[in-house]
């Protein structure tokens, strides 16, 4: 092949395609002073490399605090080393998958970093999954081990025999708290609050015993490179099948470099205290909080139950926090929580919203109460996740998802894949290219091919445009995905569950506006049993779906609107 001379390899051809499709990065003119256009991708070989360097550099500083107890960086170093050695001692080799199923507790970063240091691949699991959802994720990932808070062990018990999991490590919520708080918390959770349903899993090993056994073993050095797989981070799809986004060490290292470069003019290493209320199993909190501030020696305040708003506010009153992240519903909940407006916000530097659209009313109220703007960011599981962030110099809500971050290309394309221009009249699908973009979907090459272009862009499924200053604005979603409090909910999954009910003939699921969660699930049902009630359907869904996926509204019709080829027109259902 000859294009301006001989092409020696596929990679050279790809480079030429990239140059031909390169969008002028007009957004660079809007970058705050001190934020670079490109990042150094070679500074760190892996997440393990970053962690071990941070633990040495910041050894005596607080790393993670939960329920009044703090682990310093030297503690994280020791405990994660012990846990990694324990996993290796059980015969787990490089690249094998370890599931972590727990809320924000001190055991999470220990298990996470232990698995990564052992050369394993982490599979984050939502603790609220139903047995059906958990079974799918464990089977699909081929997880060989799971670390789980015992509050959810009963769910695991019901599906374990149908998965490839051979190693189960269970932990109680207070396991890394100091004595005597540890036994008191664990007793209260189990015996007083009755938060642990009875369970029995043969061979399950308590977390503290795993640490003790690992302390007497050697953590074998596992060479890791940027191409090695760090996470299978599960996300939905237009088919309703949850897919594992393959995020490599290079993807995550790149995103940490990108985000820390964006923060660098406004934050100082070893001096920041960040409120981590979003669950660490969610990619936003995983990267923006747990990993980014581990890299720069920050102090993560882990909030186990942010839905307890009075308790959340009491926790905030105890600390001088400098950074807080969250989704729109979290910020809105805090603004309406008694006592929040009386907190001391004098140390607050950055409030970052992502995972779902930040609403103008919430952003303006946040600025009025805290004195600081609520900055919107944008990303996807497939981009590790950050792709766009508004400048941290922004003083007022601007309705944009921000500027493409360093080393990121952004392209707006029509349905035929043609590059569109700049401006509100040039609306198309937002496509992203950069070192943070996933390798692909685990064992799903066909699904990967659907979202990746020939020149290396990820099709996001979001529709929008780039304005004259380079800010990116979303106007709609190309996919039918429903966004509930920052979590993806896909109609086909809901429909598959609803139609299992014997009284249902047909069903369609759509998203409808909701003041609390941004969107809520609505299902439109054609019943074959006239006695079928909305209450019965909701109860049926609760048995098979995580709570945020359960329909909030149910409408009965005699038929569903269809196209001339028989496709259900969800758009018409959303409109009316």
Cα atoms found within 13 Å of the Cα of residue 532, Cβ hemisphere only = 22
Domains of the chain by residue range? 72-224, 482-575
- 524-529: Cβ within 8 A, 24+ apart: 524/555, 524/556, 524/557, 524/560, 524/573, 525/498, 525/554, 525/555, 525/556, 525/557, 526/556, 526/557, 526/558, 526/559, 526/560, 527/503, 527/556, 528/503, 528/504, 529/502, 529/503
Q: What is the mean pLDDT of residues 194-206?
A: 98
Segment (H or E) for 66: strand 62-66
Q: What are phi and psi of 550, to 5 degrees?
A: -65, 130
Distance, CA of 413 to CA of 469 (rounded, Å)? 18
Chain segment 299-351, per-residue pLDDT in tens: 999 999 999 999 999 999 999 999 999 998 899 999 999 999 999 999 999 99
* Res 14 pLDDT > 60: no
- Residue-level pLDDT at 564: 53
Of the candidates 114, 231, 243, 229, which has an alpha carbon nearest to the alpha carbon of residue 169?
Answer: 114
Confidence of residue 13 (pLDDT cuts 50, 70, 90): very low
**Would residue 137 be called left, alpha or beta, if left means φ above 0 and alpha means ψ between -120 and 50 degrees?**
alpha
Contact 92, 220 (CB under 8 A): no
Same fold, 72-224 and 482-575: no
Q: What is the mean pLDDT of residues 89-94?
A: 98
Cα atoms found within 13 Å of the Cα of residue 437, Cβ hemisphere only = 21
Give me the CATH topology for the region 482-575: GMP Synthetase; Chain A, domain 3 (3.30.300)
* Res 17 pLDDT > 60: no
Segment (H or E) for 450: helix 445-451
Cα atoms found within 13 Å of the Cα of residue 567, Cβ hemisphere only = 7
Q: How many Cβ atoms from other residues are within 10 Å of residue 101's Cβ?
A: 26
Strand partners, 386: 379
| Comparison of pLDDT for 569 and 277, the residue scoring more | 277
Contact 74, 55 (CB under 8 A): yes
Task: Say which CATH class 72-224 falls into.
Answer: alpha beta
- Residue-level pLDDT at 90: 98
**187 is written with which tokens?**
């007793």
Chain segment 289-305, per-residue pLDDT in tens: 999 999 999 999 999 99
Distance, CA of 433 to CA of 550 (rounded, Å)? 34
Segment (H or E) for 185: helix 181-187
Confidence of residue 566 (pLDDT cuts 50, 70, 90): low
Provide the percentage of residues in the chain whose pLDDT is more than 70. 94
Q: Which has the minimum average pLDDT: 294-298, 514-518, 532-536, 565-569?
A: 565-569
Which residue is listed with tokens 């003083």? 395
Distance, CA of 99 to CA of 320 (rounded, Å)? 34
Is pTM beyond 0.85 here? Answer: yes
SS3 58: coil
**151 is written with which tokens?**
């509050």
- Residue-level pLDDT at 563: 62
């Amino acid at each position: 092949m000859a294009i301006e001379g001989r092409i020696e390899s596929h990679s050279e051809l790809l480079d030429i395609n990239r140059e031909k499709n390169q969008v002028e990065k007009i957004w660079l003119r809007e970058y705050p002073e001190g934020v670079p256009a490109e990042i150094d991708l070679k500074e760190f070989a892996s997440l393990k490399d970053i962690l071990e360097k941070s633990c040495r550099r910041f050894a005596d500083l607080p790393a993670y605090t939960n329920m009044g107890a703090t682990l310093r960086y030297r503690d994280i170093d020791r405990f994660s080393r012990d846990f990694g050695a324990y996993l290796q001692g059980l015969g787990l080799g490089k690249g094998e998958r370890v599931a972590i199923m727990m809320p924000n507790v001190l055991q999470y970063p220990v298990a996470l970093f232990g698995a990564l240091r052992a050369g394993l691949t982490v599979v984050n699991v939502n603790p609220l999954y139903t047995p059906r959802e958990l079974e799918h994720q464990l089977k699909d990932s081929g997880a060989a081990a799971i670390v789980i808070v015992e509050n959810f062990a009963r769910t695991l018990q019901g599906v374990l025999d149908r998965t490839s999991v051979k190693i189960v490590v269970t932990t109680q919520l207070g396991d890394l708290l100091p004595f005597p708080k540890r036994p008191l918390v664990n007793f209260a959770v189990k015996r007083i609050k009755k938060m642990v349903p009875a369970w029995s899993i043969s061979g399950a090993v308590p977390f503290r015993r795993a640490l003790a056994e690992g302390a007497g073993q050697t953590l074998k050095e596992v060479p890791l490179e940027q191409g090695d797989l760090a996470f299978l981070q599960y996300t939905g799809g237009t088919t309703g099948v949850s897919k594992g986004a393959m995020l490599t060490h290079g993807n995550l290292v790149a995103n940490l470099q990108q985000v820390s470069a964006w923060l660098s003019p406004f934050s100082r290493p070893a001096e920041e205290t960040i409120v981590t209320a979003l669950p660490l199993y969610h990619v936003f909190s995983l990267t923006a909080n747990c990993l980014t501030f581990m890299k720069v020696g920050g102090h993560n305040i882990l909030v186990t139950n942010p839905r307890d708003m009075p308790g959340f506010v009491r926790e905030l009153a105890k600390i001088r926090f400098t950074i807080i992240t969250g989704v729109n519903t979290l910020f809105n909940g805090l603004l309406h929580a008694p006592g929040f407006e009386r907190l001391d916000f004098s140390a607050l530097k950055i409030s970052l919203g992502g995972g779902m659209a930040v609403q103008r009313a919430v952003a303006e109220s946040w600025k009025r109460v805290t004195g600081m703007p609520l900055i919107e960011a944008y990303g996807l599981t497939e981009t590790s996740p950050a792709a766009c962030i508004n400048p941290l110099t922004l003083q007022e809500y601007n309705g944009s998802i921000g500027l493409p971050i360093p080393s990121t290309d952004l392209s707006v394309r029509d349905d035929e894949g043609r590059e569109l221009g700049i401006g509100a009249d040039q609306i198309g699908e937002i496509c992203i290219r950069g070192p943070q973009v996933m390798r692909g979907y685990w064992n799903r090459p066909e699904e990967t091919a659907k979202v990746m272009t020939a020149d290396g862009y990820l099709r996001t499924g979001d529709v929008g445009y780039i304005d004259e200053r380079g800010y990116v604005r979303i106007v709609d979603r190309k996919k039918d995905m429903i966004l509930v409090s920052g979590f993806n909910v896909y109609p086909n999954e809901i429909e598959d569950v609803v139609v299992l009910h014997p009284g249902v003939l047909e069903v369609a699921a759509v998203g409808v506006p909701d003041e609390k969660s941004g969107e809520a699930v609505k299902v439109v049902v054609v019943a074959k049993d006239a006695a079928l009630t909305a209450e019965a359907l909701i109860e049926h869904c609760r048995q098979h779906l995580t709570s945020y996926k359960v329909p909030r509204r149910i409408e009965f019709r005699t038929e569903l609107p269809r196209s001339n080829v028989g496709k259900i027109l969800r758009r018409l259902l959303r409109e009316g």
